[in-house]
Structure formats: structure tokens, C-alpha cells
Amino acid sequence: RRAKVPRLAHLDRATATPIRRYEHPTPGDLIHVDIKKLGNIPDGGGHRTVGRAQGIRNRARTATARRGTRDRSPRLGYSYLHTAIDDHSRLAYTEILPDETRETAVGFWLRAHAWFTHHGITVRRVITDNGSAYRSRLWRDTLTTAGITVKKTRPYRPQTNGKVERFHRTLTDEWAYAKAYPSETARRKALPAWLHNYNHHRAHTALGGHPPASRVPNLSGQNT
């Protein structure tokens, strides 16, 4: 503080330069969309919670039960967290889906768009990275047909989509790896409650200690 040096948490991790924050003035002006990949948890728990040896046994047993055959390199696959988060309010919508193809991404967006609309948010622009699903004609045509402007981040500049990146970090810390889940099913069942708490109750530093729902006037209890 004496040297007027910013905190490490206030710097961009890649460049160590101060982060310049921005915020759009109203809900729906910009929606950030991204995908987070997580390894599935075997029945009985993974190596993070039960240790490597037991985790390997659980993985092999779960893979065998699902495929009906033994596998020397058992693979349980991945979950793909598709997220859309409003730039102004930080209100977030997330689904766990089996892949990140363009068809899956577009299906997710249609449901996310309906969810935001239900909450009184008119979506005007959507920003994504340059992943193949978001470069597809299907993605572009789906959004433009709905009157939504499609935006992309600059290559090698994930900070442009920083709000959803930060949300995914919070999601993994406070939900995905927050406790010793006995199975992937148990972890997935815990997601809706965590999302509700994040949107309606959890204090958000960037919002002055208020939850995202406090910035969406049309939500229940927020009418003025």
C-alpha cells in the first residue's frame, strides 16, 4: 500500500498488468457464453477425495459397470458446463451437457435465451470465444435470426470474456470440488441449489455485496 502497488488479485494473471473492468449499463446488453470441461467422478469417489489407489479402483469398477467389459485404461469421460452470464447483473444460467458440438451449444443457447426472457431480460448481444461451435454458421444464424448481435473475443485474450471465466472458477471452487461427492450423479444433483444460491443469495463483491438477482428488477421480490 505504501508503494502504491496493486494487489496481485487485481492484476491480470498472464501479463501482471492492472485489470480494467467494464460493465454494461442494463441487463441483456451483453451475455457472456463459455464452456468448462470437467472430468466425471466415479461411483465411490475420485482420487481427490479417497486417494489415488482407491480412486483408480473406483474408476475401473465404474467403467466396467457402464460398459460391461474390463478396460485397462478406464475412461469415464467428461462433463461440459455450458454457461451464459449477464454482464450487468451477473445472473447466470448453466447446464451440464455431454459435449461441446455446435448442435449442443445452440440447443443450450435456445434454453438459456428462454430463461433470460422469462426473467425479464431482453438479450441484445452475446460474446463467446473462438471455439468451433461458436464459429459455426448454425450458431451465427440462430442468434442473428433472433435479432441478437454476435461478438467474439480477440484471439489469445480470454480476459474479454472474463466474467464467465471468473464464474467458472467460482463454480469449480464452490460446487465441483467443494466436497467429497460419492458419484457424478451426486455432484450433478447439487448444482441447481448452488446456482439458486449464487443468483439469489450469495453476496457478489463486484455488486457491492448484493446477489445478481438484486440487479434484475423483474425478478420476484425485486419489482419497483
CB 193 within 8 A of CB 174: no
> For position 23, what pLDDT does the model report?
75
What is the maximal distance between C-alpha atoms in the chain? 64
> For position 200, what pLDDT does the model report?
94
Strands 78-86 and 149-152: unpaired
Q: What is the pTM of this model?
A: 0.80
> For position 220, what pLDDT does the model report?
52
> For position 157, what pLDDT does the model report?
64
Which cell goes with 203?
Answer: 453476496
For residue 104, give the DSSP letter: H
The beta-carbon contacts of 103-112 under 8 Å, at least 24 apart in sequence, are: 103/138, 104/80, 104/133, 105/35, 105/133, 105/134, 105/139, 106/133, 106/138, 106/139, 106/142, 108/82, 108/84, 109/33, 109/84, 109/139, 109/142, 109/143, 110/142, 112/31, 112/33, 112/82, 112/84
Report mean pLDDT in 10-residue bins for the chain, 224 residues: 67 52 80 94 69 64 63 72 96 96 98 96 95 96 97 75 90 92 92 96 86 80 47
**Does domain 8-40+77-215 bear CATH number 2.30.30.280?**
no
| Domain spans in the chain, listed from the N-terminal domain onward | 8-40+77-215
